[in-house]
Each structure stands twice: as structure tokens, then as C-alpha cells.
Amino acid sequence: MKAIFYVHRGNSFFLHLSIEQAHKMNPQIPIVLLGDETNRNIAYAKHFYIKDFMQRASQLAQVYKHASPNGYDYELFCFQRWFVIWEFMQQHPDYDDRFAYFDSDTLIFDNINDRLEDSTTKEDFKSSNISKDSFPRLALENGLCPAFSFFERGTIGELCDVIESIYTKPEGMRYWEHFVEKTRQQHAVHGFSDMYAIEYYCQQIRPGETVNIDIPIPDASGQLVCYDQNISLSDGFQMTNQGYKQFNWHEGNPYGIQISNGEEVRFRGIHFQGRSKFLMAYYTHTPFYKLKGHWIKDFIKYMLRNIV
């Protein structure tokens, strides 16, 4: 069964907005929210409890090594979410199929049904390395960002195996140690996250079988399209004075403007981070007083912290 998956703890206002937008654009695709007690009543989502799918994820916690400026619990859970999805599929085999995963701070502006179909010609996943008749193992942004990601059958299990190997097997452990040492020598502010485990999967385990969907490609009509990996990064597009991608809106769809030639590219989805999450309300025309979830708490948090 095709599905869109979310994994989220807490009743964040942006989770409501993201799921509502996903349903609006994809009313025929089930939305599965693996969440907790606080978000069990979110509209349009089939809710299940994370705690019921934590056996393998709990085992990961026994071997996980923290090497990140982010908090231990936050970073560990970013890894564990993939195990939660995998275990859910073991218990619900009807969902063990091609699927999409969206971060809770995203807005989708496209119907993704064709990208999950067996019969697709794969024009939406163009790559010089992917056969026209093949479905990529994983389609995501920039080779490591899974904010919008599309999984082939079996890929989630492979990814979980790779994550475990990074902390338990010699080759994976060498990769982790090399990354951490390189980060230390470069005095880099980032640390080892699940994104770099995904990058390892894409480059070392399935080279030539994954696709970057943040790169603009023409759709069936010839219009350039792509997914956004981070609204706060230019990625070759014009930015606002506030430090976000600048969008023109046509028929409810966002279009970025390429710096190189001024050409418009339709964004199939936008990824928001930090204070930019409140742009999700603006882009969905949702007044603050109509926001659901803990929006006041989130507003205070993002105003007090320098998150961009």
C-alpha cells in the first residue's frame, strides 16, 4: 500500500499544517503518523504510537555514539525514526511498499501518486545513473537530506542495517571515526547525524541507485521542477532580505527564481527550519489564531533562540 509517513513526538503546530497540506495535495494516499499521546487526534492522519515500534530502535541506543552539537536525545531519535518505520512495516505488511517520508516542517505542493506507482516511466526521477525502467532505491535532496524522500521496497531495511553497521562493524565504524576526526580538525560546527549515515548509504552501499530531487528537471510539460532541501539556503535561487528563498506564486504553486538566468522553477515542496516554520502558516494562508497544536509555545521558543 502506498503511503506518506511522518514520525513526530509532540503536538507542534507545523505538524498539523504539514499533514493538512499533504492531504490536500494527495487526498487518495493514506498518511501514517507515528507519534505519541499528544498528537493522536491530528486530522487526516492514521495515528500509531511510536512506543509500539521501538524494539530495534531501543537496541540501536545501546551502541549509538553521540558526536553532534545537537542534544543526545534529539540526534538519537533522528536515527531511530527509520527503525520505527521499518518495525511498523514488519507489523503492518500491507504498508511494506514504495512510500514517501516527509519531515514535519515541510509543505508539499504536488500530487505524488505517480512517483509511487509501478507503472511510472520514472521521468520524475531522472538521473544519468538510473535506468528509465528502474525505480531508484532512494530519492531525496542533496544526497543526504530526507525532508522529502521516496523509498523503494526494501530500502528502509537496508538503511537500518547500514545505520547499525556504522556503530557495530569495522568498515562502518571506520567511516564514523574518519568523519568525526575530520570534523574536529576542520573545527566544523556540524556533527554526525542520520543525514551522513544516509549519505554513506547512497555513496557506498547503493552508488548510482539514488537520485537527488533538489536538482531542477523538466516535467512532462517542460516546466522545471524540484524539491527544496532548506528554505534558508540559496541553492542557486534568489533570496529575500530576510534570508529565505524568494518565491513567486502562480495558481497556488511556489516558483523559485534561478540566479544564473532568472528562469522560474516550480517547487514541489518546501522545507522549513527554525523560525522559518512560521512561514508555513503564511504560505497556507492560516491565521495565527487558527493554528492548532502548541504554536504559542513554539513561537516563544523560536523567538528566544537564535535558530535560522
Radius of gyration of the chain (CA): 19
Count structural domains, the chain. 1
3-state secondary structure the chain: CCCEEEECCCCCHHHHHHHHHHHHHCCCCCEEEEECHHHCCCCCCEEEEHHHHCHHHHHHHHHCCCCCCCCHHHHHHHHHHHHHHHHHHHHCHHHCCCEEEECCCEEECCCCHHHHCCCCCCHHHCCCCCCCCCCCCEEEECCCEEEEEEECCCHHHHHHHHHHHHHHCHHHHHHHHHHHHHHHHCCCCCCCCHHHHHHHHHHHHCCCCEEECCCCEECCCCCEEEECCCCCCCCCECECCCCCECEEEECCEEEEEECCCCCEEEEEEEECCHHHHHHHHHHCCCCHHHCCCCHHHHHHHHHHCCCC
The reported pTM is: 0.94
| Helix pair 55-63, 155-168: axis angle to 10 deg | 30
Q: What is the pLDDT of residue 121?
A: 45
Question: Cα–Cα distance between 64 and 67 in angstroms, integer?
Answer: 10
Q: How many CB atoms lie within 10 A of CB 151?
A: 26
Which of 242, 284, 288 is CA-nearest to residue 21?
Answer: 284
- Which structural domain range is residue 176 located in? 4-304
Low-confidence ranges of the chain (pLDDT < 70): 118-134, 305-308
Q: What is the pLDDT of residue 73?
A: 97
Q: What is the pLDDT of residue 120?
A: 47
180-212 pLDDT, tens digit each: 999 999 988 889 999 999 999 999 999 999 999
Q: What is the pLDDT of residue 42?
A: 97
Q: What is the pLDDT of residue 308?
A: 42
43-94 pLDDT, tens digit each: 999 999 999 999 999 999 999 999 999 999 999 999 999 999 999 999 999 9
Which of 307, 297, 279 is CA-nearest to residue 17?
Answer: 279
Do 218 and 225 meet the contact criterion of CB atoms below 8 Å apart?
yes
- Sequence-distant (6+) residues with CB within 8 A of 39 are 8, 9, 10, 11, 12, 15, 33, 47, 293
